[in-house]
Amino acid sequence: MKSVDDAAYAMAALSAAVVLFRALIKKGLLTREEAVRIILDEAVSQAIQAEAQDPREPGSEANRHCAEILKLIAERL
């Protein structure tokens, strides 16, 4: 699979997760604070994983970017 395909799948999954969180918040099944905490927990996990990887290893930069994107989403949710 091409790296472009990997990025497209990751972006689609991220978009679906944001839509799901917003729908759950709107329906009252999840509070905004809970959603932000869940997203920030995942961002921390991705950041830790990126720090543990060798910078030359494929995917390490993607994990750093993923952590940053998740932090931005949590701030705007």
Give the global pTM.
0.63
Whether the per-residue pLDDT at 73 is higher than 90: the answer is no
Name the amino acid, one letter, at 66.
Answer: C
Instruction: Please state the rounded mean pLDDT for residues 3-14.
Output: 70
pLDDT the model gives residue 77: 66
pLDDT the model gives residue 4: 60
Say if residues 24 and 35 touch (Cβ distance below 8 Å).
Answer: yes
pLDDT in tens, 22-61: 999 999 999 999 988 888 887 777 777 777 776 676 666 7
Q: Check residues 37 and 64 and name the one with the higher pLDDT.
A: 37
Cα separations in angstroms, 72 against 20, 24, 40, 41, 77:
17, 19, 9, 13, 9
